[in-house]
Chains A and B, each alone.
Chain A
Amino acid sequence: RKEVEQDPGPFNVPEGATVAFNCTYSNSASQSFFWYRQDCRKEPKLLMSVYSSGNEDGRFTAQLNRASQYISLLIRDSKLSDSATYLCVVNKRAGNMLTFGGGTRLMVKP
């Protein structure tokens, strides 16, 4: 079983739609969780951290369920510019060592 698993997609949605991505992780000792965004042939960039209480940044909402070892990302009112691959990331163990999921590809269409 992979340490971090994501549905690779692609998710094809129209502009304005709401879309949700899920991610599961295997290491119950993981303490830090993130969503990174990666555009085609570019480097990953931090989108947002994921906190136990859930957090929101504009149109983006991230949630963490430690009991189920599950992370989600919700994007409301999708824009064309949201088209990218979204990487679920957890720390491997105590310390700043990250494990990346395979990514979920989102395509927002006019």
Chain B
Amino acid sequence: EAEVAQSPRYKITEKSQAVAFWCDPISGHATLYWYRQILGQGPELLVQFQDESVVDDSQLPKDRFSAERLKGVDSTLKIQPAELGDSAMYLCASSSAGTGNSYEQYFGPGTRLTVT
């Protein structure tokens, strides 16, 4: 069964350092999402891509976060500089749907970030 791949699974970094997460969606899925999930809360959408284009990044803290999907396949989410409040699970999801349809989103295992 095809899966969404993410790496690393765990990351510990000191505040003010830069950190990057990688996601490889299910092959053929045009839509890719990055979510942040703080312990005890539901996932919160950070950014949505349709192919290589950003569809929505209204909740992405652009002063320190950036995301790219240059070739419309895999994607990288970067935080620079990291802050203590960034400690969370970062989830990547993909979907075969375009922006006008609602289909199941498949989640990767996530990257658990701890900022010290």
Contact = CB atoms under 8 A, between A and B. Distances in A.
A37 B61 CA distance: 28
A96 B98 contact: yes
Given A94-B100, A95-B102, A97-B45, A102 B109 contact: no
A17 interface: no
Given A32-B102, A43-B110, A45-B107, A97 B42 contact: no
Interface residues of A, number: 23
Instruction: Please classify the interface of chain A as helix (H, G, I), strand (E, B), loop, or mixed, using the class held by over half of its residues.
Output: loop
Interface string A39-78: 0011111100000000000000000000000000000000
Interface string B21-52: 00000000001000000001111110010000
Interface residues of B, number: 26
B56 A8 contact: no
Contacts of B55: 95, 97
Given A42-B109, A45-B107, A100 B101 contact: no
Nearest to B96: A96
B95 A96 contact: yes
A6 to B, nearest CB: 8
A96 B103 contact: yes
Q: Is the interface of B mostly helix, strand, loop or mixed?
A: loop
A44 B31 CA distance: 17
A101 B42 contact: yes
B84 to A, nearest CB: 20
Interface in B49-67: 55-56
A4 interface: yes
A44 B95 CA distance: 14
14 contacts: A31-B102, A42-B109, A43-B108, A44-B91, A46-B104, A92-B45, A95-B99, A95-B100, A95-B101, A96-B99, A96-B101, A96-B103, A98-B105, A100-B42
Q: Which 5 A-B pairs have the closest CB atoms?
A: A100-B42, A43-B107, A32-B102, A96-B97, A95-B99
